[in-house]
């Protein structure tokens, strides 16, 4: 069994760009499960469904669950209570890692932490998994926390500290972004566009401009692969 | 509230800038609030950041002054800023909270087109300040929750801002990440 865990940021990106059909096609190609946590359901469906401007996207995302494109962790026998417990543990460590002006800087919230918690539980069960997250903070915290600290230093102009021993708590996680997923969709020929010369460019920039943390240089490199 | 001295100065300068119709000064003051708002994440610091930025936009748009209700709105805003200053000086957190809230509430007392325009200004100010806090390294979800906006709003706004920290945001080379993704789809 293998799984991809989805953070709100990736799903919102596909929804805003009108690429949920392509998302469904990606699932058909994937011999495993696309998972989301209860906390992410709150972010992508329960809250936006009450706002007229985002009601349609929320309904379309809800359909993904109804159609079992996205599944809850219980589909793999993972207990919600265990996720909640691990989520709190992860939030507690993450939000007590960087300090400024005598305060612990709260860097992540419950949805993002729940993705890490689910990944950790899957790792314990030796189930291969990736987390798809478009926003940069969680990815930086896990992949290069020194860079996150450098951003704080550059932006906050104050005396900052970090607990280096906490960094190892986040080393086990592996990440992709919506840009890698749409790249695969393009390469597998499931994009519903005629083969114009600039389709990949358009797809990657659409993802970037709706919140995927990817640089222009990275996009150029992806196009050359 | 954190950094009261700094916030007191910002509010005093805000009052003068409103009187001088100096939107640039207000924008600059609003930027000064964002570091503390990012670190402390205190609702009052965030309320000041949003209010000062909204006021910069309101002062900038001279046409608003021709709408019915402007005079009262203007007076109410100055009154609320004054009360916030007094509350900080007296170290009265409850009063400060009320005064900051009354800046926002003064919008609900408006009617007609002006009400709609100014509500929109405050909403966009929340999204703008959220994107600034996200730029400072706080996660998207955490930021959205602090400002009371949805991640849908923040994602598209933040995505359209130039990423000055792109080199620091790159953690793994492109080929490796693509390979990781591709391997999962084998």
Query: DSSP string covering B152-174, please?
Result: HHHHHHHHTS--TTHHHH--S-H
Of A53, A188, A213, the CB nearest to B169: A213
Q: What is the mean pLDDT of residues A172-183?
A: 97
Residue A216: its chain B contacts at CB < 8 A?
166
Q: Of the ranges A8-17, A128-137, B143-152, which one carries the lowest mean pLDDT score?
A: B143-152
Q: What is the mean pLDDT of residues A147-151?
A: 94
Contact between chains at A13 and B180 (C-beta distance less than 8 A): no
How much of chain A is in helix, strand and coil states, percent to nearest 5?
A: 60, 10, 30
The answer to whether A206 contacts chain B (CB < 8 Å) is: no
The answer to whether A208 contacts chain B (CB < 8 Å) is: yes
Q: What is the mean pLDDT of residues A69-98?
A: 96
Task: Give which of A61, A49, A60, A54 is closest to A6, Cα–Cα.
Answer: A61
Q: What is the mean pLDDT of residues A170-196?
A: 92
pLDDT value for B42:
86
pLDDT value for B41:
87
Contact between chains at B171 and A140 (C-beta distance less than 8 A): yes
Q: Is the pLDDT of residue A5 over 80?
A: yes
Contact between chains at A138 and B2 (C-beta distance less than 8 A): no
Task: Give which of A7, A39, A165 is closest to A93, Cα–Cα.
Answer: A165
The fraction of chain A above a pLDDT of 70, given in percent, is 100
The answer to whether A22 contacts chain B (CB < 8 Å) is: no
pLDDT tens over chain B, length 186 residues: 777 888 899 999 999 999 999 999 999 999 888 888 888 888 888 999 999 999 999 999 999 989 988 999 999 999 999 999 999 999 999 999 999 889 888 888 888 889 999 999 999 999 999 999 998 899 999 999 999 999 999 998 888 877 777 788 888 999 999 999 999 998
pLDDT value for B176:
96
pLDDT value for B125:
94
Chosen from B1, B135, B142, B183 to mutate, greatest number of chain A CBs within 10 A: B142
Contact between chains at B171 and A51 (C-beta distance less than 8 A): no
Beta-bridged to residue A175, according to DSSP, are: A131
Of B36, B136, B156, the CB nearest to A155: B136
pLDDT value for A40:
96
- This complex has an ipTM of 0.90
State which residue of chain A sits closest to B34, comparing Cα positions. Answer: A156
Beta-bridged to residue A129, according to DSSP, are: A3
Q: Is the pLDDT of residue A196 over 80?
A: no
Of A51, A157, A210, the CB nearest to B159: A210
Nearest-Cα distance to chain A for B98, in Å, is 25
pLDDT value for B160:
80
Q: Which tens digits make up the pLDDT trace of A50-70? A: 999 999 999 999 999 999 999
Contact between chains at B39 and A105 (C-beta distance less than 8 A): yes
Contact between chains at B137 and A148 (C-beta distance less than 8 A): yes
Phi, psi (degrees; rounded to nearest 5) at A161 = -140, 160
DSSP per-residue codes, A75-127: GGT--HHHHHHHHHHHHHHHTTSEEETTEE-----HHHHHHHHHHHHHHHTT-
Contact between chains at B171 and A100 (C-beta distance less than 8 A): no
Query: What is the number of H-type helices and E-type strands within chain A?
Result: 11, 8
Higher pLDDT, B109 or A117: A117
């Amino acid at each position: 069994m293998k799984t991809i865990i989805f953070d709100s940021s990736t799903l919102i990106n596909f929804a805003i760009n009108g690429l949920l059909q392509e998302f469904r096609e990606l699932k058909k190609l994937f011999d495993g499960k696309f998972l989301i946590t209860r906390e992410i359901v709150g972010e992508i469906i329960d809250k936006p469904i009450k706002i007229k401007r985002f009601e349609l996207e929320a309904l379309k995302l809800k359909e993904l669950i109804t159609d079992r494109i996205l599944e809850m962790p219980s589909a793999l026998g993972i207990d919600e209570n265990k996720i909640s417990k691990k989520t709190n543990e992860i939030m507690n460590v993450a939000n007590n890692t960087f300090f400024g002006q005598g305060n612990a800087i709260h860097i992540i919230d419950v949805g993002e932490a729940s993705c890490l918690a689910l990944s950790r539980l899957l790792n314990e069960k030796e189930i291969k998994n990736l987390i798809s997250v478009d926003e940069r903070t969680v990815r930086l915290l896990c992949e290069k926390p020194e860079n996150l600290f450098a951003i704080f230093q550059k932006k906050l102009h104050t005396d900052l500290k970090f607990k280096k021993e906490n960094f190892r708590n986040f080393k086990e996680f592996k990440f992709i972004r919506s840009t890698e997923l749409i790249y695969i969709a393009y390469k597998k020929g499931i994009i519903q566009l005629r083969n114009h010369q600039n389709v990949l460019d358009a797809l990657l920039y659409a993802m970037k401009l709706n919140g995927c943390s990817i640089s222009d240089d990275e996009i150029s490199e992806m196009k050359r692969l | 509230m954190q950094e009261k001295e700094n916030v007191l100065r910002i509010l005093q300068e805000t009052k003068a800038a409103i009187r001088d119709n100096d939107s640039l000064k207000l924008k600059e003051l609003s930027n000064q609030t964002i570091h503390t708002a990012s670190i402390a994440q205190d609702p009052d610091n965030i309320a000041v950041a949003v209010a000062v930025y909204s006021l910069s936009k309101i002062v900038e748009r001279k046409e608003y002054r021709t709408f019915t209700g402007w005079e009262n709105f203007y007076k109410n805003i100055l009154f609320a800023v004054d009360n916030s200053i007094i509350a900080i000086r007296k170290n009265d957190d409850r009063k400060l909270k009320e005064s900051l809230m009354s800046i926002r509430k003064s919008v609900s007392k408006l009617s007609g087109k002006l009400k709609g325009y100014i509500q929109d200004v405050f909403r966009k100010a929340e999204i703008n300040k959220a994107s600034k806090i996200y730029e400072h390294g706080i996660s998207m979800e955490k930021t959205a929750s602090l400002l009371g906006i949805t991640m849908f709003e923040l994602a598209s706004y933040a995505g359209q801002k130039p990423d000055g920290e792109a080199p620091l945001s790159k953690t793994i080379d492109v080929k490796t990440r693509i390979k990781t993704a591709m391997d999962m789809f084998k």
